[in-house]
Amino acid sequence: MEGEYILKSGHETRLIPKSQWDQTKDDYTFRLIPLCKGTFRDYIIGISGREIPKNFPAIIGIAKSMNDINDKGTIVCVYEYEHGKYLHEWIKSIKGALKYDVNDILTSKDIFKALVKALIELDPSVSYEEFIKIVKSIVLGYVLYKYIESAGITPFPDFKKYHYTLYKEVLNGKLDYETYVKITKIKDDIIEISPKYIHDLKERYEMAQMAVEYNN
């Protein structure tokens, strides 16, 4: 799954390694940024005529328009139903997830209170904007993970890379991978944000940013 792909989503679904792309594009051509591998569950008709569930290997990623530089992308699952043959399922608009799902979580009573408190207490020498991006990347990762699962897909993410990709590619985060992982303390499971997590995140963020300033 290393590297990016080009997704052709027209009459025939094609998945092309970016290094092999011939530069042709149309309205059905997307830049595909992988988030993780997984399996897509679909049904095939057996000999008896009954539907039989089958799992297909899949890549779950962010599909971004090649014609709109402001496109935040859509989560898509591209699965291989035969060797070298693909189908795709659109899962969720990231713009919609940020506007509705992520916003609903961040403005819920306890989370909003904890977030406001963290921002008030945040040292003025560090970036408020970057802190918000980190928080949003955690919540967005949680929201999209639930959408992926509800679409009949079993994702197998490296959660550190999964969240960091959203942070960099969707939210235009500026931190490097090692610093981001150190601040977020992402491990082997999805994080459901809480007031305590926001408080601890704020403390780690301040320490990391001040250490950078001190070393400079």
Do 40 and 91 contact (CB within 8 A), yes or no?
no
pTM of structure: 0.92
pLDDT of residue 10: 85
Buried residues in 177-203 as b, exposed as e (16+ CB within 10 A): eebbbbbbebeeebbebeeebbeebbe
d(CA 178, CA 182): 6
**Per-residue pLDDT in tens (0 to 9) along the chain, 216 residues:** 568 999 999 889 999 999 999 998 898 999 999 999 999 988 766 666 677 778 999 999 999 998 888 899 999 999 998 899 999 999 999 999 999 999 999 999 999 999 999 999 999 888 999 999 999 999 999 999 999 999 999 999 999 999 999 999 999 999 999 999 999 999 989 999 999 999 999 999 999 987 665 455
Name the DSSP letter for residue 157: -
Per-residue model confidence (pLDDT) at position 125: 85
Q: Phi, psi (5° rounding) for residue 78?
A: -110, 120
For the chain, what are the domain ranges? 5-93, 94-215
CA nearest 166: which of 39, 29, 15, 33? 33
150, 156, 157, 158: CA torsion to nearest 10: 160
